[in-house]
Amino acid sequence: AAAQLVQGKPLSYNNLLDADAALTGVRLLGEQAGCVIIKHSNPCGAATGADLGEAWTKALACDPTSAFGGIVAFNRELDADLAETLTKRFLEVIVAPAVSAAARAVLSAKPNLRVLVAEQPATAALSIRAIDGGWLVQQADDMANREEDFQVVTRRQPSAAEMLDLRFAWSMVKLVRSNAIVYARDGATLGIGAGQMSRVDSARIAALKAEDAGLSLRGAAMASDAFFPFADGIETAAERGIGAVIQPGGSMRDEEVIAACDAHDIAMVLTGRRHFRH
């Protein structure tokens, strides 16, 4: 995508990968003011808000420790007030569609901070990866996030507020390396579990992250990037008071997973397709 480095050292290979992930994330947030914080290609916080300042505060609250040295993207022009706030933390890269002159003046106090002006990219048609001796090419993960495509499979229907949280969580779990779990509420991630070899461990880590940040999961939504092979992930979520779950479905034990949700009065919807980022 067309981008301009307006401050700081040249972007490294890893900077570019993380900036791309951050830009993809804010595109998924839609029209509302949004912020995504990326660390090692995974989000450690994402949120929408009435303005960028609120979005930043909510995103940072998810995992302030991991945000150290992170890459932050916004979907609106960066102003001087938010720039002043950002200079108080160590960040590698800030990405925004525009940066005001006053904001640039504030950010110039940290000359090593990379500031990138870039519009949100269009959805890529293909996903291309190098392997030893060749390339893997497949259609990019461009699944629509539409309520009409979701299937409610539990006795309890999600409320309107829960459905908003589910759609937000489903958008953000797409960014997370599998096995991926995201807890979210009110347009903000609360806990993110990434890259674990078992799904229940990702659920536990995401809950631990929320607890470490002092964030309650009661009534929050849970997104899983692929199906639950067992009901243990649901039990982990239920212990924290999760109210609704979104996942692809397709496990041999789907009925056990649905029964666990019903036992805890958790609403669950199936998408029929997985994200499963590798």
Q: Given this model, what pLDDT does residue 22 score? A: 95
Structure-model confidence comparison of residues 274 and 235, the more confident one? 235
What are the start-end ranges of the E strands in the chain? Answer: 3-7, 33-39, 42-49, 70-74, 91-96, 114-118, 126-131, 134-139, 151-152, 181-185, 188-193, 221-224, 244-247, 267-270
Cis check for the bond before 75: say yes or no (omega within 30 of 0). Answer: no
- Helical axes 232-239 vs 254-263, angle rounded to 10°: 20
Mean pLDDT on 3-14: 93
pLDDT value at position 119? 83
CATH of domain 147-270: 3.40.140.20
In the sheet that holds 70-74, the strands lie side by side as 3-7, 114-118, 91-96, 70-74, 33-39, 42-49, 188-193, 181-185, 221-224, 244-247, 267-270, 151-152
Q: Does domain 3-118 have CATH number 3.30.56.10?
A: no
Same fold: 3-118 with 147-270: yes
- Would the pLDDT of 122 be above 70? no
The SS3 of residue 141 is: coil
Closest CA to 253 of 237, 223, 233: 233
Domain segments of the chain as ranges:
3-118, 147-270
**DSSP annotation string for 56-115:** HHHHHHH-TTTTTTEEEEESS-B-HHHHHHHTTS-EEEEEES-B-HHHHHHHTTSTTSEE
Question: Is-contact 86 59, C-beta < 8 A?
Answer: no
Q: Give the whole-angstrom CA distance, residue 13 versus residue 225.
A: 27
- pLDDT value at position 50? 98
pLDDT at 13 over 70: yes
Place of tokens 């995201």: 182
CA distance 96 to 118: 6
The pLDDT assigned to 196 comes to: 81
Does the pLDDT at position 65 exceed 70? yes
The confidence score (pLDDT) of residue 182 equals 97
